[in-house]
Structure 1
Amino acid sequence: MFIKQLIFFFLLIALQRVTAQTNTQLAQYPSPMKETVRRHERVAFEMEFSKTIVLNNLLPKPVTIYLPANTHKLKQADLLIHFHGLAPVVAYAAHQYKRPIIAVSVNLGSGSSAYAQPFNNDSTFEKLRKAVLDTVIKHLGYPLTAGKIILSGFSAGYGAIRSILSQPVYFTGIDAVILLDGLHTSYIPERKVLAEGGLIDSVSLEPIIQFARKATNKLSGKKFMFTHSEIFPGTFSSTTETANYLLNKLGIKIKPVLKWGPLGMQQISEASKGNFYVLGFAGNTAPDHIDHFHGLFHFLHKL
């Protein structure tokens, strides 16, 4: 009898664990991963070999540099450093840019911590910036200075930008930030959503809030754009929730709109002040999320 009770007890525990795992998965991925209504067009761009440079041994994974279209006697170029996303898409954004710009693609893996940790070191970003410029100068064979420094991040890539902006020595030198459906934080208590009484853990958002506040004043020279989808992760804040939190902190109202965005995206909200912009787009699926990255060329031009 005791053995039967013991077996039943262990079976009950196993069942509870399976149920808990299932509930966790549903909480993280509540939306369908297929969507056929919006166009979800994708950027197709062939990077010229002669304009592409790969840096090894600088970060945990190789860094790709793409040179401006016309480098003849170029004296200055803006610097776009993008975190998380295929290099050809970033290169296309640079190719469409109206000013000479060097496009740098940094891919370090999945999860914001993969991007945040390397840049917690106060010398990593400066090493990256210097290595890029030195390599480009060596490739071109003549001096070149960096103009505006623009940081963009898609999805988990925001982790690197947050770490960089956390350091005052870099905060001042960054001219613009673009976050593409990527800015999250934890709930307090952990995994307790806002609808159930949870709160936003604002500590990790503070560097972003400070930069955004600067951008609301055009005289600061800083620019900030944050795009978000309607995806709801469930176990940590969605980009919609962090956008709303950011806007509330800055005292900026959201305006509902109906507009076409790039590549078939459908814009449903906007908010702005000075050179600070938040754009909301329809969709809660994986293709909707990736739309934001492929729209980098559009958002870079708009900013």
Structure 2
Amino acid sequence: MPRHLFLSVLLLCLSCKVANKNSMMAQNPSPMEEYIRPHERVDGSGFEGKKIPLTGIFEKDPLLLMGNATSRDSVNLLIHFHGSENVVAHAVDENEGWVAVAVNLGNGSSAYGAPLASPETFDSLLLAVKNLVTKPIRKIYLSGFSAGYGAVRAILKTRNYELIAGVLLLDGLHASYVPAQTPMANGGQIDEEDLAVFKKLAADAVMGSKIFVFTHSSIFPGTFVSTTECADYLLEATGTRRKPVLREGPVGMQQLAVSTQGKFKILAFAGNTAPDHIDHLHGLFHFVRLFSHPH
């Protein structure tokens, strides 16, 4: 994909929220391009399993993805918010014993958060999946890329928090500054209410009752809290230290740090351009394996 299209995708993925308490202005776009990392892209178009639309739940139907063959007596369910259905299909192909649902509801975290604010919506989604998956579902996991964290946050704020075994956030977790649009370098602070449920999740993951994996780039939106700043907030809240590393990640990503305590893990990666952001989505097939090995 041409690099100017990647930048357009990034601006859409990190676009502002709707006008409410948690609304944010659009980010300050970066004019940068970089040619250091390869930014490999998975295809997923060769997926030969079942693709079944789940109708009557959202304005746009999610897609249930089931592989043709598995040796397992039961399966794990991954519900992924925001990103190409082919990328999610590739993750199913690469990880035996999983079925997945790809949910795409638009741009901006509010497009994902608002429809899932009612727990009954998630109940309907699970019921639709269970009616079609022939094997028992062992555990339910959520993943969100970019704005998809809005759906994850909404689900975790309901009674359905107890149903979720683990969460994977792919370069997607933001909050407002207080005062609005005032970066921390200029005296602003993080609106902690925006991150409250993730702070709870991180604490539970440290204790081992949940799994929480969060990957982030080095992108700085400027008008709202970056993924790096959100990561720092959660690390400080849990007393978890960053460990500097330098290693290759999936699709040519360059990892800079790892932070682990219990089943809570944050992975920091280089890059502050649109392709660096999209890398996190295409690494889904790799990062989902951390649900099995979070330590």
- For the criterion TM > 0.5, the same-fold answer is yes
Which amino acid in 2 is paired with 1:285? T
Paired position in structure 1 for 2:167: 177
Deviation sequence 1:88-128 (CA, Å, 0-9, x none): 10111111114x11110000000000000000012111110
Once the two structures are TM-superposed, the CA of residue 48 in structure 1 deviates from its matched residue by 4.1
Give the secondary-structure state (helix, strand or coil) at the position aligned to 2:223.
coil
Max Rg structure? 1
Which amino acid in 1 is paired with 2:82? H
Give the secondary-structure state (helix, strand or coil) at the position aligned to 1:297.
helix
Deviation sequence 1:127-155 (CA, Å, 0-9, x none): 10111111334xxxxxx321111100000
Which amino acid in 1 is paired with 2:228? T
Alpha-carbon distance between aligned partners in 1 of 2:88 and 2:127, rounded to the nearest angstrom: 20
Equivalent residue for 2:126, pick from 129, 133, 138: 129
Alpha-carbon distance between aligned partners in 2 of 1:61 and 1:27, rounded to the nearest angstrom: 24
In the alignment, does 2:85 pair up with 1:87? yes
Once the two structures are TM-superposed, the CA of residue 209 in structure 1 deviates from its matched residue by 1.0
Q: Which runs of 5+ in 2 are unaligned?
A: 1-24
Once the two structures are TM-superposed, the CA of residue 286 in structure 1 deviates from its matched residue by 0.4
Equivalent residue for 1:159, pick from 147, 150, 157: 150
Give the secondary-structure state (helix, strand or coil) at the position aligned to 2:258.
strand
Q: Is the alpha carbon distance of 1:208 and 1:145 closer, same or farther for their aligned partners in structure 2, counting shifts above 3 Å?
A: same
Once the two structures are TM-superposed, the CA of residue 170 in structure 1 deviates from its matched residue by 1.0
Which amino acid in 2 is paired with 1:250? T
**Alignment TM-score, normalising by the size of structure 1:** 0.84
In the alignment, does 2:188 pair up with 1:198? yes
Equivalent residue runs for 1:258-269 within 5 Å: 258-269=246-257
Give the secondary-structure state (helix, strand or coil) at the position aligned to 1:241.
helix
Once the two structures are TM-superposed, the CA of residue 56 in structure 1 deviates from its matched residue by 2.5
Q: Which runs of 5+ in 1 are unaligned?
A: 1-25, 138-143
**Contact kept? 2:60, 2:104, Cα under 8 Å:** yes
Equivalent residue for 1:281, pick from 269, 272, 276: 269
Alpha-carbon distance between aligned partners in 1 of 2:206 and 2:163, rounded to the nearest angstrom: 17
**What is the CA RMSD across the aligned residues, in angstroms?**
1.7
Paired position in structure 2 for 1:104: 101
Alpha-carbon distance between aligned partners in 1 of 2:85 and 2:26, rounded to the nearest angstrom: 32
Which amino acid in 2 is paired with 1:151? L
Give the secondary-structure state (helix, strand or coil) at the position aligned to 1:279.
strand
Deviation sequence 1:59-98 (CA, Å, 0-9, x none): 12111111034158x6421100000000110111111114
Equivalent residue for 2:228, pick from 227, 232, 240: 240
**Contact kept? 1:224, 1:276, Cα under 8 Å:** yes
Which amino acid in 2 is paired with 1:206? A
**Contact kept? 1:229, 1:282, Cα under 8 Å:** yes
In the alignment, does 2:292 pair up with 1:294? no
In the alignment, does 2:207 pair up with 1:217? yes
Paired position in structure 2 for 1:23: none
Alpha-carbon distance between aligned partners in 2 of 1:106 and 1:27, rounded to the nearest angstrom: 23
Q: Is the alpha carbon distance of 1:129 and 1:27 closer, same or farther for their aligned partners in structure 2, counting shifts above 3 Å?
A: closer
Which amino acid in 2 is paired with 1:189? P
Alpha-carbon distance between aligned partners in 1 of 2:187 and 2:198, rounded to the nearest angstrom: 24
Which amino acid in 1 is paired with 2:193? V
Once the two structures are TM-superposed, the CA of residue 28 in structure 1 deviates from its matched residue by 2.4
**Contact kept? 2:48, 2:68, Cα under 8 Å:** no
**Contact kept? 1:69, 1:95, Cα under 8 Å:** no
In the alignment, does 2:190 pair up with 1:188? no
Give the secondary-structure state (helix, strand or coil) at the position aligned to 2:88.
helix
Paired position in structure 2 for 1:7: none
Which amino acid in 1 is paired with 2:129? V
**Contact kept? 1:82, 1:104, Cα under 8 Å:** yes
Which amino acid in 2 is paired with 1:59? F
Give the secondary-structure state (helix, strand or coil) at the position aligned to 2:232.
helix
In the alignment, does 2:48 pair up with 1:46? no
In the alignment, does 2:28 pair up with 1:29? yes
Once the two structures are TM-superposed, the CA of residue 211 in structure 1 deviates from its matched residue by 1.0
**Alignment TM-score, normalising by the size of structure 2:** 0.86
